[in-house]
Structure 1
Amino acid sequence: MKRNLSLGMLIGVWVLVFTATATASAASEVLDRIVAVVNEDIILLTELEERMGPYAQRIRQQAFDLDKERQMLFNVRNEMLNRLVDEKLTDQEIKRYDIQVDETEIDSTIERIKIANTFTDEDLRRFLEQDKMTMERYRETIKEQVLRTRLVNYQVKSKIVITEEEIRDYYDSHPEIYGGTLNYHLRNILMRVPDFSIDAEKQTVSEQMQQIHSRFEAGESFADLARTYSQSPAAADGGDIGEFSKETLSPKIQAALDGVAPGQATAVLETDQGYQLFYVEAVDRTEGKPLDSVREEIHQKLFAEVVDKKFLSWLEDLRSQSHIKIIN
Structure 2
Amino acid sequence: MGIRYRLVLAGIVATLMLVFAATATASAAAEVIDRIVAVVNEDIILLSELKERMAPFVQRIRSQGYDLEKERTMIFKVREEILNRLVDEKLTDQEIKRNDLQVDDTQIDNTIETIKKANSFTDEDLRRFLEQENMTMDQYRDKIREQVLRSRLVNYEVKSKIVITDEEIQSYYDSHPEIYGGKTRYHLRNILMMVPENPTDEEKETVKARMQILRTRIQQGESFAELAKAFSQSPTAGDGGDLGEFEMGTLAPRIQAAIEGLEPGDTTEVLDTDAGLQLFYLEAINRSEGKPIESVKAEIQQKLFAEVVDKKFVSWLETLRSQSHIKIIN
TM-score normalised to structure 2 length: 0.77
- Name the SS of the counterpart of 1:311 in structure 2: helix
Deviation at 1:227, TM superposition (A): 5.4
Seen in structure 2, the aligned counterparts of structure 1 residues 114 and 215 have a Cα distance that, compared at 3 Å, is same
Seen in structure 2, the aligned counterparts of structure 1 residues 236 and 160 have a Cα distance that, compared at 3 Å, is same
Is the contact between residue 191 and residue 205 of structure 1 (CA under 8 Å) also seen in structure 2?
Answer: no
Is the contact between residue 248 and residue 256 of structure 2 (CA under 8 Å) also seen in structure 1?
Answer: no
**2:318 maps to 1:316:** yes
Is the contact between residue 56 and residue 73 of structure 1 (CA under 8 Å) also seen in structure 2?
Answer: yes
Residue in 2 aligned with 1:281?
A: 283
Q: Which runs of structure 2 are paired with 1:1-328 in the superposition (5 Å)? A: 31-192=33-194, 212=211, 216=215, 219=219, 223=224, 226=228, 230-242=232-244, 244-246=245-247, 249-250=250-251, 252=253, 255-256=256-257, 257=259, 260-265=262-267, 268=271, 270-271=273-274, 273-274=275-276, 276-328=278-330
- Name the SS of the counterpart of 2:114 in structure 1: helix
Is the contact between residue 216 and residue 222 of structure 1 (CA under 8 Å) also seen in structure 2?
Answer: no
- Name the SS of the counterpart of 1:165 in structure 2: helix
Seen in structure 2, the aligned counterparts of structure 1 residues 238 and 46 have a Cα distance that, compared at 3 Å, is same
Seen in structure 2, the aligned counterparts of structure 1 residues 49 and 276 have a Cα distance that, compared at 3 Å, is farther
Is the contact between residue 269 and residue 277 of structure 1 (CA under 8 Å) also seen in structure 2?
Answer: no
> Separation in 1 of the partners of 2:280 and 2:200?
22
> Separation in 2 of the partners of 1:38 and 1:222?
80
- Name the SS of the counterpart of 2:110 in structure 1: helix
C-alpha root-mean-square deviation of aligned residues, in Å? 3.3
Is the contact between residue 37 and residue 329 of structure 2 (CA under 8 Å) also seen in structure 1?
Answer: yes
Deviation at 1:94, TM superposition (A): 1.0
Deviation at 1:183, TM superposition (A): 2.4
Deviation at 1:184, TM superposition (A): 2.0
> Separation in 2 of the partners of 1:309 and 1:251?
38
> Separation in 1 of the partners of 2:272 and 2:33?
66
Is the contact between residue 269 and residue 276 of structure 1 (CA under 8 Å) also seen in structure 2?
Answer: yes
- Name the SS of the counterpart of 1:280 in structure 2: strand
Per-residue Cα deviation, 1:33-73 (whole angstroms, up to 9, x for no partner): 11111122111110000001011111111121111211111
> Separation in 1 of the partners of 2:281 and 2:243?
10
Structure 1: which amino acid aligns with 2:42?
E
Per-residue Cα deviation, 1:63-87 (whole angstroms, up to 9, x for no partner): 2111121111111111111111111
- Name the SS of the counterpart of 1:69 in structure 2: helix
> Separation in 2 of the partners of 1:204 and 1:159?
72
Seen in structure 2, the aligned counterparts of structure 1 residues 148 and 201 have a Cα distance that, compared at 3 Å, is farther
Structure 1 segments unaligned to the other structure (5+ residues): 1-27
Structure 2: which amino acid aligns with 1:72?
M
- Name the SS of the counterpart of 1:289 in structure 2: coil
Per-residue Cα deviation, 1:3-59 (whole angstroms, up to 9, x for no partner): xxxxxxxxxxxxxxxxxxxxxxxxx97631111111221111100000010111111
The structure, 1 or 2, with the larger RCO (C-alpha pairs under 8 Å, 6+ apart) is 1
- Name the SS of the counterpart of 1:144 in structure 2: helix
| Aligned-pair identity (%) | 63
Is the contact between residue 267 and residue 282 of structure 2 (CA under 8 Å) also seen in structure 1?
Answer: yes
Seen in structure 2, the aligned counterparts of structure 1 residues 214 and 100 have a Cα distance that, compared at 3 Å, is farther
> Separation in 2 of the partners of 1:206 and 1:135?
80
- Name the SS of the counterpart of 1:32 in structure 2: coil
> Separation in 2 of the partners of 1:144 and 1:108?
14
Is the contact between residue 195 and residue 203 of structure 2 (CA under 8 Å) also seen in structure 1?
Answer: no
Residue in 2 aligned with 1:13?
A: none
Larger Rg: 2
Deviation at 1:212, TM superposition (A): 4.7
TM-score normalised to structure 1 length: 0.78
Deviation at 1:129, TM superposition (A): 0.5
Seen in structure 2, the aligned counterparts of structure 1 residues 275 and 216 have a Cα distance that, compared at 3 Å, is closer
